[in-house]
Structure 1
Amino acid sequence: MIDKTAWIHVVDGRVLAARSAGKDKFYLPGGKREPGETDAETLIREIREELAVEIVPESIAPAGTFEAQAHGKPAGTLVRTTAYSADYRGTLRASSEIEEIAWLAYADRPRVSLMAQLIFDHLHEAGELE
């Protein structure tokens, strides 16, 4: 089981997504924790590394836990993502490991990883994603 955190940031019915260099699918920003890190520490570090902004720690709120087949991994390799919403400071920009950032609507669901598809479904059912 791959254990990750993700940032759900929705504005005007679209969610912020990122695509790593050389990858074909978008995902929600975030990543794997380093030894001894809490979810909040992982989220803050990963978002700083990927998008060059600072998550406001006191604004971090749980948004759900999701499990799916890991994109690009052998069948049966699962990923568990604990997602959070949070405010941020700074200007969003793709870092060196990120090739592209985009604001995606529910219609863009085929462009995202299986994990992100589950989160898109959750957001759409909650009326947050157009």
Structure 2
Amino acid sequence: MMRPAALLLALALAAPAFAQAGPEARRSYEAQASYPVEALSGVLGELHFLAFRCQGEDAQDWRATMLELLELEAPTRGPYRERLIEAFNDGFRYHERRGTRCGAEAEIERRRLAMQGRALSETLRREYID
């Protein structure tokens, strides 16, 4: 179950990327719609790959955000924590396999992810705060 404080922290940390949403959404996490925290983990993994690839190995902000999300949502080992980690890793590997390039292509992907993140944030807000 999502803790409201954890949700707010995750959304606050991810807000800069989510604010850049654009209409380029192609790939979605609709299959994970009933598990929005897992879907958000996947978005964070994709953002981490793009930052890592385009900004270098020191770009660890999205990974750090994921670690904070894990600490708040699944602080102990267990199936839920493993699912969140797997979703993050799947997001990272998606772009690794795809070979997303820096520049315009990465910017399009960041905007797509921002739109997905915004939608997931809204879903979580409605579900747990409203």
Work out whether the TM-score is over 0.5: no
Give 1 or 2: higher strand fraction.
Answer: 1
Give 1 or 2: higher helix fraction.
Answer: 2
Q: Return the TM-score normalized by structure 2.
A: 0.30
Q: Return the TM-score normalized by structure 1.
A: 0.30
Higher relative contact order at CA 8 Å, sep ≥6: structure 1 or structure 2? Answer: 2
